[in-house]
Amino acid sequence: MLFPQGVAIDGATGAVSPATGRYVKKLSALRDLYASPALVDAFIAEHGDVNAYEVIEYRPEGSDICFGTTIMAPGMIGDEYFLTRGHYHAKKDRGETYYTQSGEGLLLLHSRDGEARVVEMRPGICAFIPPEWAHRSVNTGTTPLVFVWMCTIDAGHDYGEVATRGMRQRAVEQDGRPTVVDNPNYAT
Ligand code: F6R
Ligand code: ZN
């Protein structure tokens, strides 16, 4: 039987208590997602294989919904901001919300039928991610980007398509400001 529970979420650190799971993504694991993998190698040679982001989950067994936090380190590879892998949900009718707690970033999205959108990530903004939209977050600030995500427990992840085709857009710094540009390497 499921019982109600209050879960503490620290909006500054992203700590979740109690949590049911967590994982860390090292920068090296994301190498091929950047416009310049060679610059990832150079970054790692200089700074080490840093933790690019961490995901902490509250996923109660037998529940229909789950939530958790993503904590993204600030950083840049050349002019491109630190990013998450990006994915569609495995179940095609499952959406999600991202509610930013601290830091600043951009949520890059594209639909299977060719639309692309960007939603600002900053405290107070809860992003709605409809089903069938690939989503990737980027940290455009100088502090950790912390957001609470919530979706159905069976949404699942389909990483393959974004890994092979890329996202339609990239978030880069231009003239000192976050700018979203078309990804010339997006495989249509
Ligand atoms: C779950 C979700 C987030 C991401 C997390 C890391 O559906 O969207 O919990 O999984 O922000 O991003 P990915 O999974 O793209 O590496
Ligand atoms: Zn998702």
What's the pLDDT tens digit per position in 14-54? 999 999 999 999 999 999 999 999 999 999 999 999 999 99
Count other C-beta atoms under 10 Å from residue 30's C-beta.
Answer: 19
Distance separating alpha carbons of residues 13 and 128, to the nearest angstrom: 23
pTM to 2 decimal places: 0.98
Q: Looking at the chain, how many residues does it have?
A: 188
pLDDT in tens, 75-84: 999 999 999 9
**Residue 90 domain boundaries:** 8-182
Q: Is 1 within a domain?
A: no
Q: Is 187 within a domain?
A: no
Q: Is 82 within a domain?
A: yes
Distance separating alpha carbons of residues 103 and 130, to the nearest angstrom: 23
Q: Is 3 within a domain?
A: no
What pLDDT is recorded for position 55?
99
Q: 3-state SS of the chain: helix, strand, coil percent to 5?
A: 15, 45, 40
**Residue 94 Cβ < 6 Å to ligand 1:** no
Domain count, the chain: 1
Tell me which of 9, 27, 33, 70 to substitute to probe ligand 1's pocket, judged by most ligand atoms within 8 Å of the beta carbon: 70
Q: Cα(104) to centroid of ligand 2, in Å?
A: 18
What's at 3, amino acid-wise? Answer: F
Output DSSP code: residue 142: S
What pLDDT is recorded for position 188?
79
What pLDDT is recorded for position 2?
96
pLDDT in tens, 165-174: 999 999 999 9
Q: Is 188 within a domain?
A: no
* CA of 149, closest atom in ligand 1: 9
What pLDDT is recorded for position 10?
98
Cα 10 to the center of its chain, rounded Å: 18
Q: Cα(162) to centroid of ligand 1, in Å?
A: 12
Mean pLDDT of 104-110: 98
pLDDT in tens, 129-167: 999 999 999 999 999 999 999 999 999 999 999 999 999
What pLDDT is recorded for position 65?
98
Q: Is 157 within a domain?
A: yes
Which CATH number covers residue 121? Answer: 2.60.120.10
| Closest C-alpha to 119, from 105, 103, 133 | 105
Mean pLDDT of 58-74: 98
Tell me which of 55, 59, 145 to substitute to probe ligand 1's pocket, judged by most ligand atoms within 8 Å of the beta carbon: 55
Both tokens of 73, joined, read 């380190």
What pLDDT is recorded for position 60?
97
What pLDDT is recorded for position 187?
86
| Closest C-alpha to 150, from 13, 24, 25, 9 | 9
